[in-house]
Amino acid sequence: MRAASSALLALALCATTLRAADTVREIGADNLGEVGDLLLPSIRGWVARGDFILRVADLHYSPRWDEAFQAASQANRGRYAVDADRNVVDAETGERPSYVFGFPFPVIDTADTDAGTKVMWNRWYTVYKRTQVSVPSHIHILGRAGLVRNVEAVTTTLSYTGREGGPLPNPEQTEYREIVLQTAPTYVEGIATLTWRFDDARWDSLAGSDVTLDDALVWAGKNQSFTWKLVGQADILVPAMSLDPQPLHPGATWKNGREWKTADDYVGVRWGYEVQGWTGAPWAPTNAYWVKRPVWIVEGHPIDRYYSYGRQLFYVDRDTYQAYVKVVDTPAGEYWKTVLVDLGMSCAPERERCYPVVAMSLFVDDKNDRATATTVE
């Protein structure tokens, strides 16, 4: 039996060592034209009004998952389909599989009416490949004048499908389970949110928050609760904390896998409010790079007419199926907010294992001119 790789990750950010040939261009309001159409309209607006200055550079590598995951993805070709309720099902039997590893849909046909749904399922199986994750984080609530308050939390997630090493006993029929425990300040200490993602028609078990739980990692909702349509593809600039894969270091080994951890070679994102003399938005990530990535553009609409958001546009990497950005409209169809995360490719020393390790999240409410920024360590 091959060993499972349990991604128990204490997260932080990796500093990049710039190479002699690296060119880093600063893009601000006065030279926005240099990046052409690579910026989404909302992000272009942030730069135009002086909220952001972008450091644009090229990655030192081509983001891909490890060979074991890629091989499993190719073996899934033609094995799965999507049913009328947007479930992943066995292409021959029409039954929902209890366990899938790799992308269930390694090839996306743009003419397929289910293409958008398949992209979003590939994205979830990218998240599930992390297997088991522990993430300490700092949540910064920010207004135009700066920091309003900080909240500290620890998120622990366990995947039942998509995990390395094969399935676990799963009598409750869950895809994954997550606990978000708030640890500080004292007035929120001990508040916990439990999410069970069932692999049948039952809704998630969760509680709301200021930043909705569906916003986590750009999309943490249940695919069956939306309709999906692939509306295009493009190249866009997305934030990355490093131009190299963020390093993971071996930890404990169990009979079914190895723990991979971040270490002291990581440094944190510096938000604008933390930088003396910064004149842009308090929530701008000042030390992020912005790199070009090819993305699918998927339009999502909630089935529940009482859902807080209207249309959402998701920008999902065409190679790794990481979701980087979503643009949210109000139910009335007006632009409301933009949610984005960094590229977050993290790998073991020989790249024998790679995982999506998001190091920063940013939730910008342009309608109310405020934001929430999350740093993980």
pLDDT 10s digit of each residue in the chain, 377 long? 223 344 444 433 334 556 656 799 999 999 999 999 999 999 999 999 999 999 999 999 999 999 999 999 999 999 999 999 999 999 999 999 999 999 999 999 999 999 999 999 999 999 999 999 888 889 999 999 999 999 999 999 999 999 988 999 999 999 999 998 999 898 888 888 888 888 877 767 643 334 788 999 999 999 999 999 999 999 999 999 999 998 988 888 877 778 888 887 775 799 999 999 999 999 999 999 999 999 999 999 999 999 999 999 999 999 999 999 999 999 999 999 999 999 999 999 889 899 998 889 999 999 999 999 999 87
Contact 32, 47 (CB under 8 A): yes
| Whole-number Å distance between alpha carbons of 206 and 219 | 15
* pLDDT for res 206: 40
Q: State the Cα–Cα distance between residues 247 and 199, nearest whole angstrom.
A: 33
List the end-to-end C-alpha distance of the chain, in Å, as a whole number.
33
Query: At which residue do the structure tokens 């799965």 appear?
Result: 80
- What is the distance between the alpha carbons of residues 303 and 206, in angstroms, rounded to a whole number? 18
Distance CA 172, CA 158 (A): 14
Cis peptide before 169 (omega within 30 of 0): no
The pTM assigned to this predicted structure is 0.89
CB 236 within 8 A of CB 296: no
196 token code pair: 């069970």
Measure the CA–CA gap between 30 and 149, rounded to whole angstroms.
33
> 7 is written with which tokens?
């991604």
